Amino acid sequence: MTRPALATVFALTLLLVSGCGDPLDSRYGVTDPGSINGCAVLHEVFKSRTSLRDAEVIGPRLEEAGELLIHVARTSALPDEEACDWLKDWLGAEDGRQALLILRSGNLTGWLCRRWAEQARQEAGRTPAEATKLITLAEQLEKRADAETDKILVATHSESCPLFHVTRGPVTVPTAISGLDLEQVPLAMRVTGMLSVGPEPVTGKDSKGGKAGKPAKPADDDDAVEFEPLISLTASTTTTGVEAATTTVPWAIAIPYGESRLVVVLDALPLLDGAQPDPAARTLLNALVESVTDFHGADPHTTWVKFLRIRGDGGPPNPMLAVLTSPPIAYISWHFVVFLVVLALAGAAWLGRREAPTETRQDRFSRHVLALATRLRDGAHAAWCARAIARTALRHRQPPPALLNGDEARAWLLSLSDAADNTASTTNTANAASHSASPPSASTRGSP
């Protein structure tokens, strides 16, 4: 493998690992900037208003510390029973605690790509000189939007966990928003379902989307849980020939647990980074953060949990491994590993090779022969080979022929050895004759 080919493979590998081949970063729920589906803005706003620290999972380390716990779900699934029980115990352990749980219901990639494609086509109509380029860009964006699939956007079944229920329905665009002094609906906001607390609501399907659900039993007074709608959305359903029906559903609710509370947000779309250029989305984000932080007062101790699962009993994590596998050091570590792999593969390409380099590298092969001759001569090893190579290559500076493999190289060296032996014997005979004819005081010098 030639050096240009190795350089190309190395560059393509780095591009593949670093993700630079895709100009649109659509990772979901990450807190580092760059992804349109990330939470870097939300994370930084909470960090500026609270004493924020990051944690991978929940567990014993978080049970006795912190006043506010934040989690943005990276999948559409609700918390499992074990995580819900842990949250209940954590909220009830001390008064004044709060947990903010932001659910996932789709991503911004498809919506933004279609919106950008529409704007590109409109701009193409206004600027004929750039129409071809803009239409091509619009087609690429539409293909990317079609490639982004998220089943939760078309799910119509209910989901339940021990803390709350989510009844999914057709995705509609809200016409109004209320609560927390909000007036303008963000462009990315959608009505994807309804939050409720208490007995599981009756729907046409069960929580797994299979058979029809059974009617829920009446709730006892002890089991009934009141909740406070923080933000509500109003949507209208239009049907041909039928008067439009208007419904109001809670988008963010607060569930009390004694003097503590659990805040659940139905959909993270208007809170993601790709939606923040919209002023209404920024107003919504700031209003939600202010409502959450005002519950505690000044500078609450906050923990941002990446995954809402309990750490296993495998012991404490290795701190050095955690450092090497956490951004931004993880990016350097993985690139270094890829570099070592590519370097090893480049070296493996020469293992077992019997052929010499191509004719364009005969000068390099000559330097190898000269270096070998010099080393053998200085070490006084294999004198016959040293004399042969030294006399032929060093003294006469004759370049080696085009050797195709190791066998030809060996035959060439042996031929040099035979020629050198004949030359050496003739030289020794002449030197002996000259020594006998010279006076005794003359200094004798051996052949090199």
**What's the average model confidence in pLDDT over 21-32?**
75
d(CA 124, CA 138): 10
Tokens of 447: 């052949």
Is residue 42 within 8 A of residue 293, CB to CB? The reply is no
- Nearest Cα neighbor of 224 from 254, 194, 246, 197 is 197
3 state SS of 82: helix
Tokens of 276: 């923040």
CB atoms within 10 A of CB 212: 9
Tokens of 426: 């003739």
Per-domain residue ranges of the chain:
1-26+323-353, 31-104+151-215+225-312, 108-149, 359-433
- Tell me the angle at which helices 3-18 and 329-348 cross, rounded to the nearest 10 degrees: 150
Which pTM does this prediction carry?
A: 0.62
Peptide bond into 250 cis (omega under 30): no
pLDDT digits (tens, 9 = 90+) for 127-166: 888 888 899 988 888 888 887 765 455 455 678 888 888 8
- Nearest Cα neighbor of 115 from 236, 284, 275, 342 is 275
Is residue 361 within 8 A of residue 352, CB to CB? The reply is no
pLDDT digits (tens, 9 = 90+) for 83-122: 898 899 899 888 889 999 999 887 888 888 888 889 999 9
CB-based contacts of 334, cutoff 8 Å, min separation 6: 17
Looking at residue 290, what is its pLDDT?
92
The lowest-confidence range among 41-55, 255-269, 315-329, 387-401 is 387-401
Average pLDDT, the chain: 74
Is residue 277 within 8 A of residue 114, CB to CB? The reply is no
- Nearest Cα neighbor of 227 from 200, 259, 197 is 197
